[in-house]
Amino acid sequence: MKKMLGILGGIGLAVAVTAILLSREEKEEPKKEIKYKEVDFLDMAYVKKYFSEKYKEVIEKRPKSLPIILKLDAEEISLYIFTFYDEERGEIISKKTRIVSAKTTSQDFKDAFGDKDLLILN
């Protein structure tokens, strides 16, 4: 009987340790969320505000990151992906990514892109 209780106690301990480890893994890997925003008018002031709010936090954690905007043209609306590219890891920081859907854009915003689909901000 004591042997049986020892085995059950060992199994209970193993289950508890496994549960703790699994819950710790879930906490360490946050969900990756890409935010979406619709705007009627997109200009460089919006771009400056967005990146100035995120830049310091990103650079502190990943100093080799660049703020970038990717342009995707859909049928009647333009989509822009505001994000950071980590040069050291060679990846986009999805947690700091926003897709912006713009009905119209300012002339200075259009001029910044020119005929390119990628804008790297300094």
Tell if the pTM clears 0.75, that is, is over it: no
Q: Work out the pLDDT band at 73, boundaries 50, 70, 90.
A: confident
Q: Which residue has the higher pLDDT, 95 or 13?
A: 95
SS3 content of the chain, % helix, strand, coil (to 5): 45, 30, 25
Phi-psi region of 90 (alpha: psi -120 to 50; beta: other; left: phi over 0): left
Q: What is the mean pLDDT of the chain?
A: 79
